[in-house]
Amino acid sequence: MNTLATTRADLSAPGPIQHYRSLDNDELSARIEAIRRRMGSRLLILGHHYQQDEVIAHSDLRGDSLQLSQQAAESRQCEAIVFCGVHFMAETADILANRPERLAQRQGKRIPVVLPDMAAGCSMADMADIDQVETCWEELAEVVDTEDITPVTYINSAASLKAFCGRHGGIVCTSSNAESILRWAFERSRRVLFFPDQHLGRNTARRMGVPLDEMPVWNPFEELGGNDEQTIRRSRVILWQGHCSVHQMFRPEHVDRLRQQVPDIRVLVHPECTMEVVDKADLVGSTGFILRQVQAAPPGTRWAIGTELHLVNRLKQEHPEQEIHFLSPIICMCATMYRIDLAHLCWSLEHLATGKPVNVIEVDTDVARDALVALERMLQLR
Ligand code: 13P
Ligand code: SF4
């Protein structure tokens, strides 16, 4: 018997997503809460900080990428995870929650990890694919010793890239541990290949003292990434030419404008912003770091925050004692995170509760095994 299913008398067969789109938020919320009550601790809903308020309201846990992957790794009671975030996060949760020792403890029973909308991807993660990374590695091998390169992938990447790192002595990082991960990598090798976010790689390595001229950018559409051999030989960090389309919208002139308009303003940005923005900021860190800075600040603190709009708006609501400005005059919003809405959440939960889960993210076994190596290296470092 499927233990996820609630009694059939309680729930009629869920309809298609179109039906849920026609329902109002009050009804969707009531139905989501009904499933949460029925399933209790067997269900874990994770919400990334960039999710909409109405989705966050139904999350058991909210956090940044690292916190959520740790929570997925530690989950012991739950029988299903619904990940309100983007595709790479659900993949990571699947790899960690269904790793071999956990499967053995549960007599082989998998925890389904559900992504309420399959279209919730990450444009940055899509900027590096495994074939491009394999080609890059082969081209590098013609110029330098790849034994002396540690591949580091930002957690915002496909499981196949994490698996590549697992196979080649590499590791995963998040925006909250990138510096300690790079330090770990430099203890093992002279060089790092960092993908897919050039800005996180550059901002972190520069803070550690790596000069810019030792950080060439690798363009996957050009031979040797668009570099000459001399540049690659001199390199310490090879930065994949990827970026976050949300964070790259913050500009240094936005910092100048707010500094002029608001006296004593503290500029707090995410490390996915460009180096020019990070250079002008007072504080730089992950979404979790941003949240902690605001929570710990005295009333009356003035902030300009450069990260996804939903998190900044929530901080404004939750901290009316502080003056919070969005760093950019234009809307910088993650359209794919925004795809998770109450309709998709309710639709996926009602399927789960009737024992017919939809949108289950299940990483291929071989890929998951290698990716786990790189993820565990990261998790053991903390
Ligand atoms: P963090 O939650 O690690 O700060 O990452 C932000 C992000 O862009 C997630 O996609
Ligand atoms: Fe990807 Fe940027 Fe959206 Fe994060 S904010 S999920 S990095 S596109």
Domains of the chain with bracketed CATH: 17-121+338-363 (3.40.50.10800), 125-244 (3.40.50), 247-326 (3.40.50.10800)
Residue 167, both tokens: 């196979």
* CA atoms of 253 and 59, how far apart (whole Å): 36
Give me the percent of the chain exceeding a pLDDT of 90: 91
Find, among 272, 243, 237, 242, the residue nearest to 150 by Cα: 237
Task: Say how many Å lie between the CA of residue 39 and the centre of ligand 2.
Answer: 31
Residue 110, both tokens: 């998998």
At residue 69 the predicted structure's pLDDT band, cuts being 50, 70 and 90, is: confident
* 29 CB near ligand 2 (under 6 Å): no
Q: Which of 60-64, 65-69, 346-350 has the lowest mean pLDDT?
A: 65-69
Average pLDDT over residues 210-222: 98
**Residue 8 pLDDT exceeds 50:** no
* CA atoms of 98 and 3, how far apart (whole Å): 17
| CB-based pocket (< 6 A), ligand 1 | 64-66, 122, 156, 174-176, 244, 272, 286-287
Average pLDDT over residues 239-252: 97
Average pLDDT over residues 146-163: 98
Task: Say how many Å lie between the CA of residue 298 and the centre of ligand 2.
Answer: 30
**Residue 2 pLDDT exceeds 90:** no
Under 8 Å between Cβ of 171 and 193: no
**Residue 3 pLDDT exceeds 60:** no
Buried/exposed code over 50-87 (b: 16+ C-beta within 10 A; e: otherwise): bbbeebbebbeebbbbbbbbebbbebeebbbbbbbbbb
Per-residue pLDDT, 14: 85
Residue 185, both tokens: 């990598």
Task: Say how many Å lie between the CA of residue 64 and the centre of ligand 1.
Answer: 6
pTM: 0.94
Task: Say how many Å lie between the CA of residue 300 and the centre of ligand 1.
Answer: 27
Residue 323, both tokens: 């003056």
Tens of pLDDT, residues 25-50: 999 999 999 999 999 999 999 999 99
* 249 CB near ligand 2 (under 6 Å): no
Under 8 Å between Cβ of 119 and 190: no
Per-residue pLDDT, 85: 96
Average pLDDT over residues 11-25: 87
Q: Which residues pair with 63 in a beta bridge?
A: 48
Find, among 360, 346, 355, the residue nearest to 17 by Cα: 346
Task: Say how many Å lie between the CA of residue 316 and the centre of ligand 2.
Answer: 21
Ligand with minimal distance to 271 CA: 1
At residue 326 the predicted structure's pLDDT band, cuts being 50, 70 and 90, is: very high
**Residue 9 pLDDT exceeds 80:** no
Per-residue pLDDT, 197: 98
At residue 4 the predicted structure's pLDDT band, cuts being 50, 70 and 90, is: low
**Residue 86 pLDDT exceeds 80:** yes
**Residue 186 pLDDT exceeds 50:** yes
Average pLDDT over residues 167-180: 96
Under 8 Å between Cβ of 62 and 56: yes
Tens of pLDDT, residues 93-147: 999 999 999 999 999 999 999 999 999 999 999 999 999 999 999 999 999 999 9
* 340 CB near ligand 2 (under 6 Å): no
Ligand with minimal distance to 86 CA: 2
Under 8 Å between Cβ of 63 and 48: yes
**Rounded to whole angstroms, what are the CA distances from 104 to 99, 107, 163, 323, 369?**
9, 5, 22, 51, 14
Sheet strand arrangement including 61-63: 61-63, 43-48, 80-84, 113-114
* 244 CB near ligand 2 (under 6 Å): yes
**Residue minimizing CA distance to atom 9 of ligand 1:** 65
At residue 255 the predicted structure's pLDDT band, cuts being 50, 70 and 90, is: very high
At residue 11 the predicted structure's pLDDT band, cuts being 50, 70 and 90, is: low
Q: Which of 11-15, 175-179, 206-210, 288-292 has the lowest mean pLDDT?
A: 11-15
Average pLDDT over residues 220-227: 98
At residue 70 the predicted structure's pLDDT band, cuts being 50, 70 and 90, is: confident
Per-residue pLDDT, 74: 84
**Residue minimizing CA distance to atom 7 of ligand 2:** 244
Task: Say how many Å lie between the CA of residue 156 and the centre of ligand 2.
Answer: 8
Give me the percent of the chain exceeding a pLDDT of 70: 97
The overall average pLDDT reported for the chain is 94
Per-residue pLDDT, 5: 54
Ligand 1, pocket-test mutation among 62, 64, 67, 157, most atoms within 8 A of CB: 64
- Which atom of ligand 1 is least distant from the CA of 122? 10
**Residue minimizing CA distance to atom 2 of ligand 2:** 244
Per-residue pLDDT, 17: 94
